Amino acid sequence: MHIVKPARPRDAARKYDIITALGAYALARDKHDQRLVLRLITLITARYNWARNELAVGQREIARLWSVDERTVKREMAKLRGKGWLVVKRQGARGRVTEYGMDLERMLAMTEGDWSNVGPDFDLRMSGKPEETPVVSLPLKGDVPPPDVSAGTEWVLAQAILHAEAPDVYGSWLRNLERVGRAGGRLTLKAPSRFHGTYVQTHLARRVLAACQAVDSDVTDVGIVV
């Protein structure tokens, strides 16, 4: 399992990714977990200091934010500490609130199983796998027409998605891949040349698989032959 490092303090996109991961995790669970995570997300967006990994807010203020009493705050914060998502950095004392930090690595590790519910692009980005770009598009004359989807196979439907995402890449590398057959979850495509097939396998394999899975979740692998 490869877990990426938490966001740089000013990396706004990464903050949204972490919150999205928490939301996907919550929505896959019961109402109690959903409520707990919603409360955490609200606390994060309202009071968490990303730059310092610091959450310093009193129970009374949290109770007001969550519209609950302080007893509920104590119980919910204990649950979050139990998950390992909140860590006490400095215990509160007279006139000073408890200071918490967030263990983002722990959060990501626990939510990883639900990343794919957001989409293959999110799963790929969060897992820290290398991107398959840049992809070189070949010179094309005129607009690339969308594929004929009348056959209704998983491949022509996936081609329609790939065309919509990047017509130039579709026209250069994916339009001429032909469906050979299907054995269980493995879809086999034929490339017009060895170079063409190798390029698709090296640079576009995940993109092709993601498009196929978007129209048929039973597809688990795409093979390229010549």
The per-residue pLDDT of the chain, averaged, comes to 86
* pLDDT of residue 209 exceeding 60: yes
What is residue 123's predicted lDDT score, i.e. its pLDDT?
76
Q: Which two tokens stand for residue 137?
A: 């598009």
| pLDDT tens per residue, range 42-93 | 999 999 999 899 999 999 999 999 999 999 999 999 999 999 999 999 887 7
Which residue(s) pair with 49 in the sheet?
54
Please name the amino acid found at residue 35.
Answer: R
Query: pTM for this one?
Result: 0.55
Most trustworthy range by pLDDT among 56-70, 80-94, 136-150, 189-203: 56-70
**What span, in angstroms and rounded, lies between the C-alpha atoms of 44 and 37?**
10
